[in-house]
Every structure is written in C-alpha cells, then in structure tokens.
Amino acid sequence: MTDVRVLLVDDQHLVRTGLRALLERAPDITVVGEAGDGRAGVAVAREQRPDVVLMDVRMPGGDGIEATRRILADPTLADVRVVMLTTFDDDEYLFEAIRAGAAGFLLKDTPPDALRDAVRVVAGGDALLSPAVTRRVIAAAARSPVADPARLTGLTGRERDVLAQVGTGRSNVEIGAALHLSPDTARTYVSRLLHKLNARDRAQLVVIAYESGLVRPGDG
C-alpha cells in the first residue's frame, strides 16, 4: 500500500497535535490537513482528498455526523473513508454516524500502535467495528424505527446467515467457523452482500442487519 493520507477534524488543537504526532511516527502515514470543525473539515477534504478522515463526533460550528454525510455524499470524494473519534459516552450518536456512512469508531485514548493499525485497516477498505462497539450500535439502533425486512428480498438463505453474523460484529474467520465456511468463502459472501445491499462497508451491513430484524439487542 502507498502512504495513507489522513485528515484530522477536531475542535481541540491539542487533540489534533497529539494525533498528528502519533500517526506520523509511522513512515507510511502522512497527515495532509487539519480542521477545527465539520464545515472546515468538508472543505479540507475536498481540497486534499485524504484516504482517511479522523472526525470528532461533537464540535461547535459543524458536527462530525453532518460533515460525514456531506463528505460521503460528494462523488468527488468516493474513496474517502471517515472514522469517528469518540469517547464511549457518545452511544446516542453511534447508530446515526454509521447510517451517515462512517467506517467505524476510534476511542480518543486508543494506544498509538492500535491507532496507526486502525488507519491502515480503514484505508485498506475494512470497517472498524469490534463486537463491543457493534453491541453499542445495536443498542442505540433500538431507539430508532425498524425498517421493512423486505430489503433483504433477493438474498439467499446463506447470505442471510452471513449478514446476521456480520451484524453481531464477527470477523470473516469467526463467520467461517460459525457457518462451517473457509474465511475466504466468508469474505466472498460479505463482498456479495455489500454489492447486493448497496452498502459502503461492513459497518453499514450491521445497520441493515438490525433494521431488517436479523439482529436484535442482546444478540452476539
């Protein structure tokens, strides 16, 4: 992989400075811009075209969820991935952020090596949804209306099984073990689901799994 280009969007200068210092210790990660609120973040994203945006959830002058919607709705930024920066008192925002298109979440106190690895993972096309975060997303989603399960019309029984497993935050290896598939076969099913359901990434598959009724609070 070529160098990962990162944009930092947070209203606290000290947080941005710390993130930049931690990320740029890796020779394959470059911070290409910073912004102090969501509106400025959208503008810098359009200017710099980063691979990954680390976006604070709550900021004065333009919150991170609306900025995420605007970035991911812009066809010129189709390859940009947004990760929300959060503390775990932000549960009420998790579901909304995933629906907006966020690729996942990072805690602001994530260890340095894990932070750099997470940026690489997201730049490579995967989502950042651990089972613990997934449970919180589903719990937050329980406060939102459940959509018509007809959205899953056209999926095979096996595809529904895989979607249910994705919805509980399981990895391809774990899905394979649960459904007696190889990890590569599980990965193929997930790719097929992304295409069939017009989902951006695994994070949005979690939302679809909940909204269709395949996954409910307490599952996993």
Q: Are residues 91 and 9 in the same domain?
A: yes
Q: Are residues 120 and 171 in the same domain?
A: no
- pLDDT attached to residue 158: 96
> For residue 96, what is the domain's CATH number?
3.40.50.2300
Mean pLDDT by runs of 10 across the 220 residues of the chain is: 89 94 95 95 96 90 88 92 78 74 82 91 78 63 60 90 88 91 93 89 81 69
Among candidates 53, 5, 47, which has minimal Cα distance to 30?
5
User: Could you list the residue range(s) of the whole structural domain that residue 154 is in?
Assistant: 147-211
Residue 70: inside a domain, yes or no? Answer: yes
Is 156 within 8 Å of 165 (Cβ atoms)? no
Boundary residue ending a domain (128, 163, 182): 128
Residue 87: inside a domain, yes or no? Answer: yes
Q: Are residues 124 and 168 in the same domain?
A: no
The rounded distance, in Å, linking the Cα atoms of 92 and 140 is 6
- pLDDT attached to residue 214: 83
CA 37 → CA 57, 67, 78, 112, 167, distances in Å? 10, 9, 21, 24, 31
Q: Are residues 69 and 96 in the same domain?
A: yes
- pLDDT attached to residue 50: 97
- Residues recorded for the chain: 220
